[in-house]
Chain A
Amino acid sequence: MEKAIEIRDVKKYFYSKKRALFKKTEVKEFKAVDGVSFDIYKGEIFGLLGPNGAGKTTLIKMITGLLLPTEGNILVLGIDVVKETIKAQRNIGTVLAGDRSIYWKLTARENLEYFGALYGLKRKEAKERAEMILERLGLSEKADQIVEKFSTGMKQKVALGKALMPNAPVLLLDEPTLGLDPQSAINLREIILEFKREGKTILLTTHYMEEADFLSDRVAIIDSGKIIALDKPDNLKKSINEVKTMKLEIMGTSYETIEGLKELEKVENVLTHYNQQRRTFEVTIHHEDGESIVHEILDYVLKKKAKVLNVNVEEPSLEDVFIHLTGKSLRE
């Protein structure tokens, strides 16, 4: 398979200095990306999944040339991003997280035409392409309205439209559905799948595991700047098939009681989330034993005089893969 993006042993370290009067300056090193290597093939959707601060955005920014890597090489369609930044940028359309990447005081059309000019399109070409993209994203009716009046979902669509202006073969989408309502998120995912059908290579970062699972041909899981797993979503889930996932909703208990579950034999991980609305604890338990431990867990909870509202034994998800590999939740 032909490679669209090649990432070779890329590191990005940040340094912060702490100065104090009459004291030696203290330099702290932070490894945002720490020796990452992988390839993205032409025409695939590649999901980069990880919690906040894992290094996803830093990696995307290095691919786009916004950040210089401390070490390593990044090639986009064979072009070295560090040595030939502008040439590489011609092949990339990018949406960075959030809806602030466009001008709120301009109309949707003006935004697209402006970025078209910056991507080297001639005036007529930019107008035609903007029109086409507005139509495709369902923004034609509001094309001449100022963006500040748009909903978050519409602003996000304009940001996506901006990335589509150059008709670049590679699309980098950093948390494209962040902050969107469920319907807008579904619409945007459909649009992303359309781009794939057109043959575009897409790198998608997200911390929504369902999104990564649904959209991606392959997924890399990143944590603390390192790639800890990379495969097709199904393969990743199969890799932890021996681990069972049990989800409980419990009322009238405490964190201490739930912590006690970790002491049970064959329990691998216990993760707790307190649902403030329902005033219940949502507990995810990974264990290696199929059936018998379910009784053991329920016995333990009931002995502590807690009320079990729901019990589910589920197939592993990508989040379970992440929990299995790191011992923590994506939401942490």
Chain B
Amino acid sequence: MQSLRVIFAVAKKDIATLFRYPTWFISVIIWPLIFPLLYILTSFAYAGPDRRGLTVFQRVAGTENIMGYIIIGTMVWMAVNITMWNYGGYLREEQLRGTLESNWLCPVNKFSILLGAGILSMVLSIMFSLVGIIEYRLIYGIKFTGNLFEWIIVFLILFPGVYGLGMIFASLILWAKEVNAAVNVARGIMMILCGITYPIYIMPNWMQFLAKFLPFTFGIQAARDILIMDKTLVETVYNLILCLGEGVIFLVLGMFIFKSVEKRVKISGSLERF
């Protein structure tokens, strides 16, 4: 019970803080709209003036809904990206603000604080995804398949991996004190390996092998199966299980790294050091 109270208190505090920066919602409206557009327009350009080349891409991707295909990939990437910037840098931000020690002085399992911090990222990810779906449905007339229950399942299955990766980052950054380089490398790797705008089998074998260690590779595939290819949860169960399974491994790894970094900073006294 105490842990739940802490998790919700942290989330409430973060949401209240976010709402006091009045421009935050602009990115929620603009970003989902413009980010996939870059890839969509590039694909149109490569397809030629009569877009004949798109048929090749449609054959490779396994769907005629190329815009939807790209939107799903970029939406998942944005969710991971938000998590890494917000959640991955959470402890570092508290450290720079000077409030990390105040939190650490409290008689709670510090892991609850980290869990609570993830709620804001989750809320933002859901908002970005919903806004993206609404904007593409209304502006470009893209049809999404599946029902709300299936969409929620796909979203939930992605979360252990997203959370786990965020925890790994949050912990390592607390120790390494540098956010930007680490996040840029990780999101770059994910952008390439997980196939956010193309199917992974067009990559060399060794890259495909590496891609299979990332839960998002399977999460993106499952999301495409449900949201644009009209498949059922059962039909994409292989992707769902692998996404969830690998995500849980990320989560356990995140907890382990957090505990070990927590002990390390208590020895080195670097909790408040910039």
Residues in chain A within 8 A of chain B (CB atoms): 12, 14, 32, 58, 61, 64-68, 86-87, 89-90, 92, 94, 96, 98, 100-106, 110, 113-115, 117-120, 122-123, 146, 162, 166
Asked if residues B103 and A66 are in contact (CB atoms below 8 Å), the reply is no
28 residue pairs from A and B, CB less than 8 Å apart: A12-B269, A14-B268, A64-B105, A65-B105, A66-B266, A67-B266, A67-B271, A68-B267, A86-B108, A89-B106, A92-B105, A94-B105, A100-B98, A101-B98, A103-B13, A104-B97, A106-B16, A110-B13, A113-B9, A114-B12, A117-B6, A117-B8, A118-B103, A118-B106, A120-B107, A120-B108, A122-B5, A166-B107
Provide the residues of chain A in CB contact with B13, threshold 8 Å.
103, 106, 110, 114
Smallest CB separation, A118 vs chain B (Å):
4
Closest Cβ–Cβ distance, residue B69 to chain A (whole Å): 40
Asked if B17 and A105 make an inter-chain contact with CB atoms under 8 angstroms apart, the answer reads: yes
A-B complex: 9 closest residue pairs judged by Cβ atoms? A100-B98, A117-B9, A118-B106, A89-B107, A101-B102, A90-B107, A105-B17, A86-B107, A68-B266
Nearest-CB residue, chain B, relative to A89: B107
Given the complex, which residues of B lie within 8 Å of A68, measured CB to CB? Answer: 263, 266-267
- B6, B20, B105: the one contacting A105 at CB < 8 Å is B20
Q: For residue B269, which residues in chain A have a CB less than 8 angstroms away from its CB?
A: 12, 14, 32, 58, 61, 67
B5 partner residues in chain A, CB cutoff 8 A: 117, 120, 122-123
Picked from B9, B20, B268, the residue with its CB within 8 Å of the CB of A118 is B9
B132 to chain A, nearest CB (A): 28
Main secondary structure, interface of B, reads helix
Q: Is B58 an interface residue (CB 8 A)?
A: no
- A66→B271 contact, CB < 8 A: yes
Instruction: Report B91 CB to chain A, min CB distance, Å.
Output: 14
Bound-state CA distance A255–B253 (Å) is: 61
> Can you name 4 extra interface pairs (CB under 8 A) apart from A58-B269, A106-B13, A119-B106?
A14-B268, A68-B266, A96-B101, A105-B17
B102 touches A96 (CB 8 A): yes
Whole-angstrom distance between the alpha carbons of A113 and B187 in the complex?
36
Cα-based distance from A92 to B13 in the complex (angstroms): 23
Given the interface pairs A87-B107, A100-B97, A120-B107, the reply to whether A115 lies near B17 with Cβ below 8 Å is no
Give min CB distance, A126 to chain B, whole Å. Answer: 9
Interface residues of B in 84-122 (CB under 8 A from A): 97-99, 101-109, 113
Find chain A residues with CB under 8 A from B180 CB.
none
The distance in angstroms between the C-alpha atoms of A61 and B270, with both chains bound, is 12
Query: Contact: A66 with B101, CB < 8 Å?
Result: yes
CA distance A65 to B105 in the complex (A): 7
Q: With A68-B266, A105-B17 in contact, do A119 and B98 touch (Cβ < 8 Å)?
A: no
Q: When chains A and B are docked, how far (Å) is the Cα of A122 from the Cα of B106? A: 15
A16 to chain B, nearest CB (A): 10
Report the separation of the CA atoms of residues A119 and B2 in the bound assembly, to the nearest whole angstrom: 9
A86 touches B109 (CB 8 A): yes
Q: In the complex, which of the residues B12, B17, B102, B104 contacts A162, with contact meaning CB atoms closer than 8 Å?
A: B102
Task: Please name all residues of chain A whose beta carbon is closer than 8 Å to the beta carbon of B20 when the two chains form the complex.
Answer: 105, 146
Q: Are A106 and B98 in contact (CB under 8 A)?
A: no
The 8 Å CB contact of A101, one of B2, B9, B99, B107, is B99
Q: Using a CB-CB cutoff of 8 Å, which residues 16-32 of chain B contact chain A?
A: 16-17, 20-21
Return B120 CB to nearest CB of chain A, in Å: 13
> In the assembled complex, which residues on chain A have CB atoms less than 8 Å from the CB atom of B99?
100-103
How many angstroms between the C-alpha atoms of A123 and B9 in the bound complex? 10
A67 to B263 Cα, complex, angstroms: 9
Chain A neighbourhood of B21, CB < 8 A = 105
Q: Which B residues are CB-close (under 8 A) to A87?
A: 107
Task: Say whether A119 contacts B107, CB under 8 Å.
Answer: yes
| CB <8 Å contact, A114 and B107 | no
The digit string for B237-274, where 1 denotes a CB below 8 A from any CB of A, is 00000000000000000000000000100111101000
Collect the chain B residues with CB atoms within 8 Å of residue A146's CB. Answer: 20
- Inter-chain contact A114/B104, CB cutoff 8 Å: no
Residue of A nearest to B21 (CB): A105
Which single residue of chain B is at the shortest CB-CB distance from A96?
B101
Chain A residue with Cβ nearest B104: A66
Which among B2, B99, B105 has the greatest number of chain A C-beta atoms within 10 A? B105
Query: For the complex, what is the distance from the CA of A100 to the CA of B104, rounded to whole Å?
Result: 14
Which B-chain residue is minimally distant from A107 (CB atoms)?
A: B16
Question: Provided the pairs A14-B269, A68-B266 are in contact, do residues A103 and B107 lie with their beta carbons within 8 angstroms?
Answer: no
Q: Which residues of B contact A98 (CB under 8 A)?
A: 98
Interface contact A103-B268, CB-CB below 8 Å: no
Who on chain A is nearest to B94 by CB? A103
**A101 vs B104: C-alpha distance in the bound complex, in angstroms?**
11
- B109: chain A residues within 8 A (beta carbon): 86
Knowing A87-B107, A90-B107, A103-B17 touch, does A115 contact B266 (C-beta < 8 A)?
A: no
